[in-house]
Amino acid sequence: MTSGNPLQSTRQLSSQAVVEVLLREAPLSRVQIAKVTGLSKQTVNEIVRQLEAEGWVSKHGMSQGEVGRRAATYSMQPDAGYVIGVDLGATKLRVALSDLGGSTVAQGEVATDRRGGTHLLDQIHTTSVRLAGEVGVGWGRVLSSAIGGPGVFNAATGAMDRAPNVPGLGDMDVAGALRDRLGHEITIDNDVNMAVAGERWRGVAQDCANFAFIALGTGIGMGIFMDGAVRRGANGAAGEIAYAPFADDPFDVSLHEHGPLEEVLSSHGFSASYTALTDEQACPELIFERYGAQQDAARQAVAAYARHIAIVLSTVTAFLDPELIVVGGGIGSRPGLVAEVIPLYRRLAASTAEIRTSALGAQASLVGATAVALGQVHNRLFAAAVPERLPLPVPGPALEPPARSAR
């Protein structure tokens, strides 16, 4: 919530400070909260009293204070509300329900409804409501949802443009239709931008102010985090590198729907390169399995793929000069791939960034969507509007990432 009253805005920001320190370090006494936040004891007392009355904070126990005195300790009441994170992919729809402390309560995955359009929005709604119901969370307690999708969100129309892998989202007000179905505040963004938020929150870029995230899977995309914020460009299409003219004939109109670069670096393009070597059709999972078993054709296919990636990463470095490039997605997170890319990249780039495999793997966009939904709720409930603010990582269970791949 926002206000034109400076005193009220200051109070809201103070409430945010108390909430964040409780999420990070609870249980704490009011004296300890004051020390950590730098707020006065009177301010902390008033804020804690109000948060407790509203059900956001509860007494945790007692601690030994100064001069033998015992003081009540407090912690956030994480089940006071919940958020939904959604990763809408071309083949899979992943949904996570998390409490206000950032812990995952339930998570589900279904095949994406290939009919697209309203069928897909219905699927997001029914999957989310069913997930909450399975763990006994009434839908009215879900306060916000964030959705990452494979396209460019058009804030003016509410549509998801440039999403050829998921039909029907560019011709409708996706944001409005989802808001009507879900009944609460929603945030929509490109799935790779959501992955950027995920890596910033719980991934390999937590302390990085300038990095790029390259997603390699069904398609290819890039998220840009520069000078402490996600960069979307004039039309929200910054990072749409699928349309970069890396092809023998970039003017070939048959390449324009999905993009010339995506034709080469998508899962389809990767599998096609293997088929050209063997006359055998194989999915990326099988190719990487054979790569691990030292099959010559698989090693050739991965080496050729790594060569293309190195060219892309060196181009990204030339334009953005990031300190870090995170490589993720269904193919990008595969063990051994980044190790193939790094020496080639170092030969090409004038100045080199650190290259890391995503710590979150296929979960990066879902983790990021959860972070964004949490940030929206925290800002609305406890503080004045703070752009791009994300909740701090908290102890306890979270979305479980796959095992970290070798770098």
Q: How confident is the model at residue 2 (pLDDT cuts 50, 70, 90)?
A: very low
Looking at residue 251, its pLDDT comes to 86
Strands 104-111 and 92-99: antiparallel
Same domain assignment for residues 291 and 337: yes
Q: How confident is the model at residue 401 (pLDDT cuts 50, 70, 90)?
A: very low
Same domain assignment for residues 332 and 274: yes
HSE toward the beta carbon, residue 95, CA cutoff 13 A: 22
Same domain assignment for residues 259 and 210: yes
How confident is the model over 55-92, as pLDDT tens digits?
888 888 787 655 557 889 998 888 889 999 999 988 89
Average pLDDT value over all residues in the chain: 87
Mean pLDDT is lowest, of 102-116, 193-207, 241-255, 334-348, for 241-255
Check: CB of residue 312 under 8 Å from CB of residue 358. no
What CATH number is given to the structural domain containing 47? 1.10.10.10
Res. 394: pLDDT tops 70 = no
Same domain assignment for residues 257 and 322: yes
Q: How confident is the model at residue 16 (pLDDT cuts 50, 70, 90)?
A: confident
Same domain assignment for residues 223 and 351: yes
Domain boundary at 76, 91, 123, which? 76
Alpha-carbon distance of 260 to 219, in angstroms, equals: 11
Q: Residue 240 burial by CB count (10 A; 0-12/13-18/19+): exposed, middle or buried?
A: buried
Looking at residue 289, its pLDDT comes to 96
Q: How confident is the model at residue 223 (pLDDT cuts 50, 70, 90)?
A: very high
Neighbours of 81 (CB within 10 A): 19
In-domain check, residue 267: yes
Same domain assignment for residues 294 and 347: yes
Domain boundary at 50, 76, 102, which? 76
**Structural domain tally of the chain?**
3
**pTM of structure:** 0.83
Looking at residue 384, its pLDDT comes to 39
Q: Which domain holds residue 226?
A: 206-358
Mean pLDDT in residue range 100-111: 93
Domain boundary at 49, 76, 103, which? 76
Same domain assignment for residues 149 and 88: yes
Strands 152-153 and 142-149: unpaired
Looking at residue 64, its pLDDT comes to 63
Share of the chain above pLDDT 70, in %: 90
How confident is the model over 175-214, as pLDDT tens digits?
999 999 999 999 999 999 999 999 999 999 998 999 999 9
3-state secondary structure the chain: CCCCCHHHHHHHHHHHHHHHHHHHHCCEEHHHHHHHHCCCHHHHHHHHHHHHHCCCEEEEEEEECHHHCEEEEEEECHHHCEEEEEEECCCEEEEEEEECCCCEEEEEEEECCCCCHHHHHHHHHHHHHHHHHHCCCCHHHEEEEEEEECCEECCCCCCEECCCCCCCCCCCCHHHHHHHHHCCEEEEEEHHHHHHHHHHHHCCCCCCCCEEEEEECCCEEEEEEECCEECCCCCCCCCCHHHCCCCCCCCCHHHCCCCHHHHHHCHHHHHHHHHHHHCCCCCHHHHHHHHHCCCHHHHHHHHHHHHHHHHHHHHHHHHHCCCEEEEEHHHHCCCCHHHHHHHHHHHHCCCCCEEEECCCHHHHHHHHHHHHHHHHHHHHHHCCCCCCCCCCCCCCCCCCCCCCCCC
HSE toward the beta carbon, residue 192, CA cutoff 13 A: 34
Same domain assignment for residues 225 and 353: yes
Q: By C-alpha distance, which of 122, 109, 121 is closest to 149?
A: 121
In-domain check, residue 401: no
Same domain assignment for residues 102 and 214: no
Alpha-carbon distance of 35 to 24, in angstroms, equals: 14
What CATH number is given to the structural domain containing 338? 3.30.420.40
Share of the chain above pLDDT 90, in %: 60
Q: Specify the higher pLDDT residue, 392 or 84.
A: 84
Neighbours of 70 (CB within 10 A): 11
Res. 389: pLDDT tops 50 = no
Res. 358: pLDDT tops 50 = yes
Alpha-carbon distance of 351 to 193, in angstroms, equals: 25
